[in-house]
């Protein structure tokens, strides 16, 4: 299971990577980052279009899927940073809300 420290480390690396590219800062508005999350999710979805299955931990398809999942996580980390949202906190809060609701 991933811990809060793992996500914080990933978020820090993403923030430092993005911050070191000065020309990117003007592009990383919450709107643009949300659109990037959505477009990367679309790329993930496109991998499953017409596919019967994507299986096996060694399959090239799974490697591509994993790359798209990573892209989503990277943009999500940047979006969280942009908005001052702690992803782990809001996920736990939403899970608690869902537990009560369902």
Report the helix count and the strand count for the chain, using DSSP H and E: 4, 0
pLDDT confidence of residue 2: 54
End-to-end CA distance of the chain: 23
Note the pTM of the prediction, 2 decimals. 0.81
pLDDT at 54 over 80: no
With both helix axes pointing from N to C terminus, report the angle between 30-48 and 60-83 in degrees, rounded to the nearest 10.
Answer: 160
Share of the chain above pLDDT 90, in %: 56
Domains of the chain: 4-101 (1.10.287.1080)
Contact 37, 79 (CB under 8 A): yes
Most trustworthy range by pLDDT among 1-15, 16-30, 56-70? 16-30
Whole-number average pLDDT of the chain: 88
pLDDT band at 70 (very low <50, low <70, confident <90, very high): very high
pLDDT digits (tens, 9 = 90+) for 11-31: 999 989 888 888 878 888 999
């Amino acid at each position: 299971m991933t811990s809060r420290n793992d996500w914080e480390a990933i978020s820090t690396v993403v923030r430092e990577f993005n911050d070191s590219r000065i020309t990117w800062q003007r592009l990383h508005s919450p709107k643009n980052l949300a659109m990037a999350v959505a477009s990367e999710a679309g790329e993930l979805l496109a991998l499953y279009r017409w596919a019967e299955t994507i299986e096996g931990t060694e399959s090239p398809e799974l490697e591509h899927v994993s790359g798209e999942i990573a892209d989503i996580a990277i943009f999500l980390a940047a979006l969280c940073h942009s908005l001052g949202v702690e992803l782990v906190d809001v996920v736990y809060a939403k899970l608690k809300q869902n537990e009560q609701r369902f």
